[in-house]
């Protein structure tokens, strides 16, 4: 089965320009069997899909619920939980990656770094804590080995990282606009009907192939050297929102099963 495993939408990302239905239609035209929604810290698009589209239209297409979580210390991490499992904490950015890994695995999910060798602060290999990620990377379940919005060098390093730690590679477009949708893909040698099937396939070490084509109209390509301004702006934005979410995040950690991680954050 062929999936675009990194898709942003208008319903879930403030910088998304394509609706989830537009994304589905474009992917179906290109012969895809499904997609993974990976909006930043939001399940908004999946909720929209579930309420307005699922079971009504596009019944021959698999929509998987995922999220691109913004950690406080190691950039962006793609997270997939089992079907029907809802963890409100994942819509509250700012957890350290070590705690995120524990929580996702506790609930039976899988996770891996998005564009791991990309921009500073956004990508684990280029973060202060991520540079010492020998023990961190071994705890991930996959690595994003092809991202259509990254450079060839960035993807080459990501694949080398996956090979070093014997992790399967996911591929995705990282699409925010229609002309990027479907440029990156993941082929999985298994029947995938929902998130639980995907998680089982990864645990069973089925054959997974990540490939694609490069998107040449990204913001960082358009602004060139000014990209550093964008990167540092993101750092302030992420830190600021993480601080604003701290109290709500801590209260959620104290609830039921989350309490066991509270002391590690103290």
**Tens digits of residue pLDDT in 25-61:** 999 999 999 999 999 999 999 999 999 999 999 999 9
Residue 266's pLDDT band (boundaries 50, 70, 90)? very low
Q: What is the mean pLDDT of the chain?
A: 89
Quote the pLDDT of residue 224.
55
Quote the pLDDT of residue 227.
61
User: Does pLDDT of 256 surpass 60?
Assistant: no
Quote the pLDDT of residue 134.
72
Q: Which residues contact 151 (CB under 8 A, 6 or more apart)?
A: 214
Q: For residue 257, count other CB atoms closer than 10 A to its CB.
A: 11
Indicate the pTM of the whole model: 0.91
pLDDT digits (tens, 9 = 90+) for 122-147: 899 988 776 667 778 899 999 999 99
Quote the pLDDT of residue 230.
66
DSSP annotation string for 113-173: ESSTTSSTTTSGGGSTTGGG-HHHHTT-S-EEEEETTS-HHHHHHHHHHHHHTT-PEEEE-
User: Does pLDDT of 259 surpass 60?
Assistant: no
DSSP annotation string for 53-88: TTTTS-TTSEEEEEEEEE-SSS-EEEEEPPTT---G
User: Does pLDDT of 263 surpass 60?
Assistant: no
pLDDT digits (tens, 9 = 90+) for 65-100: 999 999 999 999 999 999 999 999 999 999 999 999
Q: Which residues contact 222 (CB under 8 A, 6 or more apart)?
A: none
Q: Are 93 and 248 in contact (CB under 8 A)?
A: no
Assigned token pair, 75? 């950039």
Q: Are 231 and 121 in contact (CB under 8 A)?
A: yes
Quote the pLDDT of residue 258.
56
Distance CA(144)–CA(158), nearest Å, equals 7
Quote the pLDDT of residue 151.
94
Interstrand relation of 143-147 and 169-172 (parallel, antiparallel or unpaired): parallel
Q: For residue 151, count other CB atoms closer than 10 A to its CB.
A: 16
SS3 25: helix
Residue 180's pLDDT band (boundaries 50, 70, 90)? very high
pLDDT digits (tens, 9 = 90+) for 187-241: 999 999 999 999 999 999 999 999 999 999 876 655 555 566 666 676 666 777 7
Topology of domain 2-265 in CATH is TIM Barrel (3.20.20)
User: Does pLDDT of 248 surpass 60?
Assistant: yes
Residues for the chain: how many in total? Answer: 266
Ramachandran class of 61: left when φ > 0, alpha when ψ lies in -120 to 50, beta otherwise: beta
Distance CA(201)–CA(209), nearest Å, equals 13
């Amino acid at each position: 089965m062929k999936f675009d495993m990194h898709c942003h939408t208008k319903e879930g990302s403030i910088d998304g320009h394509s609706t989830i239905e537009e994304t589905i239609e474009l992917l179906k035209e290109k012969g895809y069997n499904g997609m993974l929604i990976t909006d930043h810290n939001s399940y908004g698009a999946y909720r929209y899909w579930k309420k307005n589209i699922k079971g009504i239209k596009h019944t021959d297409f698999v929509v998987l619920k995922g999220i691109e979580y913004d950690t406080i210390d190691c950039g962006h991490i793609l997270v997939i939980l089992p079907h029907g499992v809802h963890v409100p904490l994942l819509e509250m950015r700012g957890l350290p990656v070590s705690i995120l890994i524990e929580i996702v695995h506790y609930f039976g999910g899988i996770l891996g770094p998005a564009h791991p060798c990309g921009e500073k602060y956004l990508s684990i290999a280029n973060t202060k804590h991520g540079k010492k990620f020998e023990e961190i990377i071994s705890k991930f379940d996959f690595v994003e080995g092809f991202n259509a919005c990254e450079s060839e060098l960035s993807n080459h390093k990501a694949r080398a990282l996956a090979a070093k730690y014997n992790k399967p590679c996911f591929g995705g477009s990282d699409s925010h606009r229609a002309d990027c949708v479907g440029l990156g893909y993941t082929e999985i040698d298994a029947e995938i009907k929902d998130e639980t099937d995907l998680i089982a396939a990864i645990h069973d070490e089925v054959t997974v192939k990540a490939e694609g084509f490069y998107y040449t109209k990204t913001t960082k390509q358009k602004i060139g050297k000014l990209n550093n301004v964008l990167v540092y702006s993101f750092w302030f934005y992420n830190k600021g929102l993480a601080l604003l979410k701290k109290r709500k995040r801590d209260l959620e950690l104290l609830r039921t099963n989350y309490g066991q991680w509270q002391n590690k954050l103290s």
